[in-house]
Amino acid sequence: MATTVKTHEAGGPGSDPRQRALEELKFAVLQRMIAEIDPEKMRRGDGTKHREAVEDAALAALATADAVLSGQHQQQLAREIADEILGLGPLEPLLNDPSVSEIMVNAPDLVYVERDGIIYLSDRVFRDNAHIMQIVERIIAPLGRRVDESSPMVDARLPSGYRVNAIIPPLALASPVLTIRKFSQDRFDFDELVSVGTLSLAAAQMLRAAVQVRLNILISGGAGTGKTTLLNALSAFIPHGERIITIEDPAELKLKQRHVVRLETRPPNIEGKNQVDQRDLVRNALRMRPDRIIVGEVRAGEAFDMLQAMNTGHDGSISTVHANSPRDAIARVENMVLMAGLDLPVRAVREQLASALHLIIHLSRFRDGSRRVTHITEVVGMEGQTVTTQDIFVFAHGGVDGDGKIIGSLVSTGIRPTFANRFDELGIALPPDLFLRPR
């Protein structure tokens, strides 16, 4: 589903002559202050104390400038100068804004943000390409990473957990491009997901039971559809007495259980050595006596090891995958297994897949910015050369309201899944009409 893009929310990106004059004044004061202080030392110390000192020094410098500025403008410029010295410059207010979920720097005067699933052009600007590069290097240097002509792409995780990607010329033709994906510090539970319409109460009840009876679950969807959010919510139903091992690239999950071992991949060093990928971690996790293995996202050959784990006593495992539909998710996992370099016939791969997976939950992001579960699909087995599935719940579209919001809900198809007898065997009570098709 295409994402709606709206124009900037306030002001123009650097086109106003007065704004340009303020930028020039800010840069002049900034250069003078950098020559007088040690920014690196300031960043390592007490952040609050140093910010106050930098803002006071900036106000003093602005007071002696030739420009006539109101007190409000002086305070604003002082904050922006402190952001340049101690933080990430024009990005600092966006990083501190809890409503912003993604920051996309396409060019010095093209900084986009995502709010509630909708992309806006912000009023944040950089001076030039060199200014963007300065911020990129400030982000990745503490992480032991580099970006230059010999290594023009970098993917990293900030200490805050935010995911950062940067790509520079000559691969990015016009300007360095920086993307920062922020993750909410607040965990959504299933009650909240139901209240915001991500899924229905009936579907939430079934998924709670599915985790409790240790079904193997694959969450599929496009980028930014809420796969990790849903995985976090599902994990809350895992009993606290079980040993959980999570494998991620990068680490994003926030499980509430105490007995959790978190593993994260390691990129190659500057010499291109010592990389540890997800497949290495999945294989190692099998030797760590896990009750459940959670792979944040399968991307390549680790899909084979994940299926092997599911088929050899590690029921209740959960993972996510990028896909456009439940059927596409199956095809993608099949292709990933073939990427593992094993000389397996396609039928054997599909038999492994059909035996390992029980349930696929598919999410989509609609054009109004909402993220919703559109399919809960059971993997039934094999029929000839084909992995067979059946939809248990599907999203029923109800049109669009006057505000442009999508109307609809997740409803039962009337099909009772083959694994429902597991609920009865373990005494898990579910509403008798849970799988009845609504009239």
Q: Longest C-alpha distance within the chain, in Å?
A: 82
| Confidence grade of residue 6 (pLDDT, cut at 50, 70, 90) | low
Task: With beta carbons less than 8 A apart as the criterion, state whether 175 and 129 touch.
Answer: yes
pLDDT at 11 over 50: no
Average pLDDT value over all residues in the chain: 86
pLDDT at 1 over 60: no
Task: Give the model's pLDDT for residue 38.
Answer: 65
| Confidence grade of residue 386 (pLDDT, cut at 50, 70, 90) | very high
pLDDT at 175 over 80: yes
Q: Of the given ranges (32-36, 65-69, 178-182, 428-432), which has the lowest mean pLDDT? A: 65-69
List of residues 6+ apart from 435 with CB closer than 8 A: 392, 412, 414, 415, 416, 417, 420
Give the pTM: 0.80
pLDDT at 201 over 50: yes
Task: Give the model's pLDDT for residue 284.
Answer: 93
Of 39 and 378, more confident: 378
| Confidence grade of residue 45 (pLDDT, cut at 50, 70, 90) | low
Task: Give the model's pLDDT for residue 339.
Answer: 84
Of 73 and 100, more confident: 100
Buried b (16+ CB within 10 A) or exposed e, 286-309: beeebbbbbbbbbbebbbbbbbbb
One-letter amino acid at 295 equals: V
Task: Give the model's pLDDT for residue 410.
Answer: 94
Task: Give the model's pLDDT for residue 12.
Answer: 44
* Domains of the chain in sequence order: 5-181 (3.30.450.90), 190-425 (3.40.50.300)
The percentage of residues in the chain with a pLDDT greater than 90, rounded to a whole number, is: 44
| Confidence grade of residue 10 (pLDDT, cut at 50, 70, 90) | very low
Integer Cα distance of 191 and 30 in angstroms: 48
Task: Give the model's pLDDT for residue 189.
Answer: 84
pLDDT at 9 over 60: no
| Confidence grade of residue 258 (pLDDT, cut at 50, 70, 90) | confident
- pLDDT tens-digit readout, 393-420: 999 998 888 888 889 999 999 999 999 9
pLDDT at 184 over 70: no
Provide mean pLDDT across the span 237-262.
Answer: 88
pLDDT at 320 over 70: yes
Task: Give the model's pLDDT for residue 317.
Answer: 92
Q: Of the given ranges (46-55, 270-279, 361-370, 402-411), which has the lowest mean pLDDT? A: 46-55
Of 125 and 77, more confident: 125
| Confidence grade of residue 68 (pLDDT, cut at 50, 70, 90) | low
Task: Give the model's pLDDT for residue 325.
Answer: 95
- pLDDT tens-digit readout, 75-115: 878 888 888 888 888 999 999 898 999 999 999 999 999 99
One-letter amino acid at 89 equals: G
One-letter amino acid at 386 equals: T
Task: Give the model's pLDDT for residue 47.
Answer: 60
| Confidence grade of residue 39 (pLDDT, cut at 50, 70, 90) | low
Integer Cα distance of 292 and 258 in angstroms: 14
Order across the sheet with 371-383: list the strands: 260-264, 244-248, 292-295, 318-322, 217-221, 359-365, 371-383, 386-400, 406-412
